[in-house]
């Protein structure tokens, strides 16, 4: 009986995920949030059933009642978050709230399957982060002078990255985080948001003749500090965010093309200067030839995705723990192995719908500062998803970045929740302005 339940349930999960994903894009047929209420109800139902069924499978396979208690607590918190946004911020984007909760719920499920202690830690950090992030839209409504602090934000970002470079310990050749009071802080994660606000301020508030050289120099310092710390994944994200923000601010295609050319030249220089970049490129080009060394992770990732096929092995039926650092860098491969490639594609489409909504919000702004902030956050989010999924599927070399809201990582989930809340604050402010105007 249990075998039948496990077999049938994996197909039900795919159908539910497909239903949820279809609703993500149905939203864009309507311009008003009230017209989308039926869509959001269907999403909430599909999301709740996915979460319930996933934990029932885990319980049937393990018999661990702690999993059921964890499910009940996390489900209540996710429902409470949805309701809290409904009452506190009726003008918020319900699509982003639902997507945020869905991505976190899938993260809790796969982490509970891989390492239950890490799932509990992730939940605790998420709770603290939600408490912080839920007030951000309110702050945006009350505080209208963020653009004036662009120099302070730029300096703070540089100081944080410099502190990591000078005082952090090297792990696997990279300096990524500082440990304070037993807690690890990855500065580049938090600086992502600061950087976006700083660049938006410099590109809109400075004297016109200084905007481009000053912002380019500031962005270059951020990127070079990340390169010096050997956080090349972060450096790529910062670089692309600035290039696209510059293009939006100026409307000059030549700047965008020059940025892409600069990225190509920088990639070649990075390959020549850093041995670990050469190792990753070699593993990317022919991982099977280096299966006992640098190619092991990507080979195991591809095996996992291939083994799962379209429908997946079934939750707990695969072997995702064979992939090193699977909870962080290779979470997408673990999901595809056990939930199936179709489920993984739907998950990726949900992320894409978040990116589209971010850009949709950016397009609503006439104020260039807020337009650039929304674009910058959209590119930060979208490019991070691209780097993560591209790396584990061997579309691009590995960069070691996490899948926002899904992968294990206290800094990652905290910053992702803050980023979604900032976007909500922007969305609420522009809707309020349009209504009063």
- Averaged pLDDT, 342-353: 95
- Averaged pLDDT, 13-26: 94
Q: How confident is the model at residue 51 (pLDDT cuts 50, 70, 90)?
A: very high
**CA-closest candidate to residue 20, choices 38, 35, 40, 6:** 40
Q: How confident is the model at residue 144 (pLDDT cuts 50, 70, 90)?
A: low
Alpha helices (H) along 251-290: 253-273, 275-285
**CA-closest candidate to residue 47, choices 99, 100, 102:** 102
d(CA 296, CA 290): 7
The model's pTM:
0.91
pLDDT tens, residue by residue, 373-401: 999 999 999 999 998 998 888 888 877 78
Annotated domain spans of the chain: 2-134+278-436, 146-273
Q: How confident is the model at residue 175 (pLDDT cuts 50, 70, 90)?
A: low
d(CA 349, CA 18): 10
Q: Are 392 and 402 in contact (CB under 8 A)?
A: no
d(CA 392, CA 298): 6
Q: Is 425 helix (H, G, I), strand (E, B) or coil?
A: helix
pLDDT tens, residue by residue, 178-223: 666 556 667 778 889 999 999 999 998 888 888 888 999 999 999 8
Amino acid 171: pLDDT: 61
258 CB burial (10 A radius; 0-12, 13-18, 19+): middle
386 CB burial (10 A radius; 0-12, 13-18, 19+): buried
Tokens 């440990």 -> residue: 179
């Amino acid at each position: 009986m249990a075998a039948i339940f496990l077999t049938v349930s994996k197909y039900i999960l795919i159908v539910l995920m497909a239903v949820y994903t279809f609703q993500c894009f149905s939203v864009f047929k309507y311009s008003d949030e009230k017209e989308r209420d039926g869509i959001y109800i269907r999403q909430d139902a599909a999301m709740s059933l996915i979460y319930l069924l996933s934990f029932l499978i885990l319980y049937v396979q393990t018999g661990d009642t702690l999993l059921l208690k964890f499910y009940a607590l996390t489900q209540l918190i996710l429902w409470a978050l949805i309701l809290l946004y409904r009452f506190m911020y009726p003008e918020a984007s319900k699509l982003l709230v639902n997507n945020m909760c869905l991505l976190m719920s899938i993260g809790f499920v796969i982490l509970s399957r891989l390492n239950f202690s890490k799932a509990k830690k992730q939940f605790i950090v998420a709770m603290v982060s939600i408490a912080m992030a839920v007030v951000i839209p309110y702050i945006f409504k009350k505080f209208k002078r963020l653009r004036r602090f662009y120099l302070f934000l730029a300096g703070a970002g540089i100081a944080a990255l410099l502190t990591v470079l000078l005082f952090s310990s090297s792990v696997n050749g990279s300096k990524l985080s500082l440990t304070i009071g037993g807690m690890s802080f990855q500065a580049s994660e938090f600086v992502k948001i600061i950087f976006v606000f700083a660049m938006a301020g410099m590109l809109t508030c400075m004297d016109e003749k200084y905007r481009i050289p000053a912002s380019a120099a500031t962005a270059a310092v951020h990127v070079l500090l990340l390169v010096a710390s050997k956080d090349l994944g972060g450096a790529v994200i910062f670089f692309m965010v600035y290039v696209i923000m510059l293009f939006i601010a100026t409307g000059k295609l030549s700047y965008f093309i020059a940025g892409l050319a600069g990225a190509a030249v920088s990639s070649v220089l990075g390959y020549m200067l850093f041995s670990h970049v050469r190792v990753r490129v070699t593993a990317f080009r022919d991982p099977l030839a280096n299966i006992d060394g640098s190619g092991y992770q990507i080979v195991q990732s591809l095996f996992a995705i291939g083994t799962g096929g379209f429908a997946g092995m079934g939750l707990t039926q695969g072997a995702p723990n064979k992939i090193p650092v699977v909870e962080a860098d290779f979470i997408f491969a673990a999901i595809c192995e056990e939930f199936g490639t179709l489920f993984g594609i739907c998950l990726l489409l949900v992320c894409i719908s978040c990116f589209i909504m971010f850009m949709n919000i950016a397009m609503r702004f006439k104020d260039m500062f807020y337009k650039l902030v929304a674009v910058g956050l959209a590119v930060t989010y979208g490019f991070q998803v691209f780097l993560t999924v591209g790396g584990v599927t061997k579309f691009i070399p590995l960069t070691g970045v996490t899948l926002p809201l899904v992968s294990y990582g206290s800094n990652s989930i905290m910053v992702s929740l803050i980023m979604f809340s900032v976007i909500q604050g922007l969305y609420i402010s522009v809707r309020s302005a349009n209504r009063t105007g």
